[in-house]
């Protein structure tokens, strides 16, 4: 059962072929078996999951209408607020804090009948690309326990890869869904900015953050995305437009679609891209061409500056977003200090990990008087350039293709230098800066047989065509074309 898609599970539960309780026990059993070595979760909510399953079974028995994800287990990144359930961001500073409300996505999942099995580990406040920055210890890649799962949503990616849940949610600020999806061999998608409400997502960088799905296949990804997407009046940046249905597109193929391979990211000119990763990206492009797509290389010159702009903008917003963790109202407070300022300083010094502090300092500096325009102002102008470059590329192409991550999953400690770690996000960051959707689809393997992810990028609100191409890549991959 743990190999089944969410769609198949939901259908079985709805038809009564299997009970939600059985489904939940099956997945909790998998968690019992392997969680001790993977550490995907900060918290497993077994009792609540069993109670939710019973309720769904009662409704099925009573012949009531149930949601499209009824009985399907899901793991939630531990930066999504869950009413009555500790939400930590994998940080000591949120010690003991229990949200009094549910994130909008959590409400929508509950309405759809999905069953939360736990809160997944992440790099503290979603800052990192390996989940090594968690205050509660790293998550291991279920495919090779000596390697990282990627990050920051490493726990959510690992949970799906390990079969702890068929679905999970992550958040993606600079690649935090797509990169761990690639490294764990699952599907991960970052939606267009504004399509999924951020209400209840603990902010890292507000103008870049989006919540998105992890799944084992493309169709489940689309289903989960459609469940959580849609306008929400509690998020001012939420887009009021209705979404075009995606599922009907998945079997349509790519005949005649124009696919651009981003030469800056797939051409091997940037440092740190493994040859196998580049080769799989080429093969993916060839597979799409074979399926009838018009494939050509395209230059999106400013993408290479994305990384620099990102590491000014994201820390700047983070420095402000994370100011509220001051020990005054909730979370960790250092006792015995002489005055409020000393208490705040001590609480933040002890409560935050090194990477979070590094980014708060970077961001504070970038916004400071005298540096504001040279750093933050200039980064925003680069952001505008990237959007323009993308717009230009999308005049000639329906989607763009690139590797998701320059490399396959790497061993723990391999990228101890922050700058080396930051380079992992070079291919994913441009979509965040532009606000565009992008998905990582597993496509063959690279070094040491670890999975490679290929990224499909689309213009604003281009999820339908993006999924259409992703589904074709998935078919090509499972056909053996890419392996």
Can you give the binding site for other proteins, defined by CB under 8 A?
Answer: 79-81, 87, 89, 94, 97, 99-101, 103, 198-203, 205-207, 233-237, 316-317, 319-320, 323-324, 326, 328-330, 337-341, 344, 364, 367-369, 372, 376
Q: 453: Cβ–Cβ under 8 A, 6 or more apart, which residues?
A: 178, 179, 181, 182, 183, 185, 188, 403, 404, 405, 440, 441, 442, 443
Coil, strand or helix: which one is 261?
A: strand
Nearest to 316 by CA among 377, 388, 235: 377
Supply the DSSP string of 17-66, one letter for each residue. SS-HHHHHHHHHHHHHHHHHHH--EEEE-HHHHHHHHHHHHHHHHTT---
Taking the least distance from each CB to other proteins, the nearer of 104 and 455 is 104
Taking the least distance from each CB to other proteins, the nearer of 119 and 249 is 119
176 is catalytic: yes
| Measured distance CA(29)–CA(17) in Å, rounded | 20
Alpha-carbon torsion (290, 220, 399, 420), positive or negative:
negative
Token pair recorded at residue 29 = 């059993």
Closest separation between CB of residue 236 and other proteins, Å?
5
Closest separation between CB of residue 322 and other proteins, Å?
9
Residue 337 CB coordination number (10 Å): 15
Taking the least distance from each CB to other proteins, the nearer of 208 and 471 is 208
Taking the least distance from each CB to other proteins, the nearer of 23 and 106 is 106
Q: 221: Cβ–Cβ under 8 A, 6 or more apart, which residues?
A: 187, 188, 189, 213, 214, 215, 439, 467, 470
Closest separation between CB of residue 341 and other proteins, Å?
5
Closest separation between CB of residue 131 and other proteins, Å?
20
19, 77, 134, 153: the catalytic one is 77
Taking the least distance from each CB to other proteins, the nearer of 324 and 392 is 324
Nearest to 38 by CA among 118, 174, 145, 166: 145
- The upper half-sphere exposure of residue 106, i.e. CA atoms within 13 Å in the direction of its Cβ, equals 24
Closest separation between CB of residue 117 and other proteins, Å?
21
Closest separation between CB of residue 79 and other proteins, Å?
8
Closest separation between CB of residue 105 and other proteins, Å?
11
299 is catalytic: no
91, 130, 134, 152: the catalytic one is 152
Token pair recorded at residue 8 = 């198949």
Supply the DSSP string of 151-210, one letter for each residue. SSSHHHHHHHHTTS-SEEEEEESSSTTHHHHHHHTSEEEEPPTTSB--TTBPPSSTTT-E
176, 347, 402, 440: the catalytic one is 176
Closest separation between CB of residue 328 and other proteins, Å?
5
Taking the least distance from each CB to other proteins, the nearer of 369 and 419 is 369
Token pair recorded at residue 58 = 């009662």
Q: 215: Cβ–Cβ under 8 A, 6 or more apart, which residues?
A: 5, 6, 160, 166, 167, 168, 186, 187, 221, 224
| Measured distance CA(46)–CA(339) in Å, rounded | 42
Taking the least distance from each CB to other proteins, the nearer of 229 and 265 is 229
156 is catalytic: no
Taking the least distance from each CB to other proteins, the nearer of 203 and 469 is 203
| Measured distance CA(411)–CA(148) in Å, rounded | 6
Supply the residues annotated as catalytic. Answer: 77, 152, 176
């Amino acid at each position: 059962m743990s190999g089944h898609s969410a769609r198949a599970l939901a259908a079985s539960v709805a038809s009564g072929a299997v009970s939600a309780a059985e489904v939940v026990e099956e997945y909790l059993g998998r968690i019992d078996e392997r969680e001790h070595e993977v550490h995907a979760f900060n918290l497993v909510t077994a009792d609540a999951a069993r109670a939710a399953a019973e309720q769904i079974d009662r409704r099925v028995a009573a012949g009531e209408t149930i949601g499209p994800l009824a009985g399907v287990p899901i793991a939630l990144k531990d930066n999504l607020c869950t009413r009555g359930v500790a939400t930590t961001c994998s940080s000591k500073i949120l010690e003991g804090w229990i949200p009094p409300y549910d994130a909008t996505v959590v409400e929508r999942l509950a309405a759809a009948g999905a069953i939360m099995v736990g809160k997944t580990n992440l790099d503290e406040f979603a800052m990192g690309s390996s989940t090594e920055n968690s205050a509660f210890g790293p998550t291991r890649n279920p495919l090779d326990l000596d390697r990282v799962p990627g990050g920051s949503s490493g726990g959510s990616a690992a949970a799906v890869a390990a079969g702890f849940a068929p679905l999970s949610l992550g958040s993606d600020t600079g690649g935090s869904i797509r990169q761990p999806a690639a490294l764990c061999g699952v599907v991960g998608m970052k939606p267009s900015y504004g399509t999924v409400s951020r209400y209840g997502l603990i902010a890292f960088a507000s103008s870049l953050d989006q919540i998105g799905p992890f799944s084992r296949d493309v169709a489940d990804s689309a289903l989960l995305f459609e469940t959580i997407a849609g306008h929400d009046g509690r998020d001012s940046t939420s887009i009021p437009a209705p979404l075009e249905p995606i599922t009907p597109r998945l079997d349509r193929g790519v005949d005649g679609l124009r696919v651009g391979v981003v030469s800056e990211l797939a051409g091997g000119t940037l440092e740190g891209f493994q040859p196998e990763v580049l080769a799989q990206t080429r093969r993916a492009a060839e597979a799409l061409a074979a399926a009838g797509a018009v494939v050509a290389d395209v230059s999106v010159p400013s993408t290479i500056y994305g990384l620099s702009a990102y590491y000014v903008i994201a820390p700047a917003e983070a420095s402000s977003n994370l100011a509220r963790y001051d020990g005054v109202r909730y979370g960790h407070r250092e006792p015995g200090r002489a005055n409020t300022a000393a208490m705040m300083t001590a609480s933040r010094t002890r409560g935050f990990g090194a990477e979070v502090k590094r980014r708060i300092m970077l961001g504070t500096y970038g916004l400071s008087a005298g540096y504001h325009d040279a750093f933050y102002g200039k980064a925003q102008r680069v952001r505008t350039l990237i959007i323009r470059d993308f717009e230009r590329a999308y005049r000639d192409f329906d989607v763009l293709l690139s590797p998701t991550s320059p490399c396959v999953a790497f061993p723990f400690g391999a990228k101890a230098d922050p700058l080396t770690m930051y380079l992992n996000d070079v291919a994913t960051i441009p979509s965040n800066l532009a606000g565009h959707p992008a998905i990582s689809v597993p496509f063959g393997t690279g070094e040491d047989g670890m999975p490679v992810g290929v990224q499909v990028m689309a213009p604003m609100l281009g999820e339908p065509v993006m999924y259409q191409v992703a589904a074709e890549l998935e078919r090509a991959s499972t056909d053996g074309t890419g392996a």
